[in-house]
Structure 1
């Protein structure tokens, strides 16, 4: 059964599994940072026109 798989299939499967794994781990450990990054208060195009806070 293993001779039916090519090295391309193997590396593609490893890449997909690693991407899913690191996506889940990143979502679990960096949930707050990801939520803050995508929140409406942290939009770069909204902050560009605002002057920096004084003080």
Structure 2
């Protein structure tokens, strides 16, 4: 029954299943943090209005 599966197929299936699992768990437990991160006005890729002071 299983001889036609090779190790590449096995590791690919495990990687896909693990990725789906962690996306679901992350969405369930960190929903508020994800909303805050993507809905915030201060995005990481936007430049700050004032540069930090040199010290």
Shift of 1:51: 7.2
Q: How many residues align?
A: 51
TM-score, normalised with respect to structure 1: 0.79
- Over residues 5-45 of structure 1, what are the superposed CA-to-partner deviations in whole Å (9 max), with x where a residue is unaligned? 10000000000000000000000000000000001423130
Point out 4+ residue stretches in structure 1 off by more than 2 angstroms: none
Determine the C-alpha separation between the residues in 2 that align with 1:7 and 1:15.
12
2:35 equivalent to 1:35: yes
After superposition, the CA RMSD in angstroms is 1.9
Gaps of 5+ in 1: none
Report the secondary structure of 1:42's partner residue. Answer: coil
Does residue 17 of structure 2 align to residue 23 of structure 1?
A: no
Higher helix share: 1
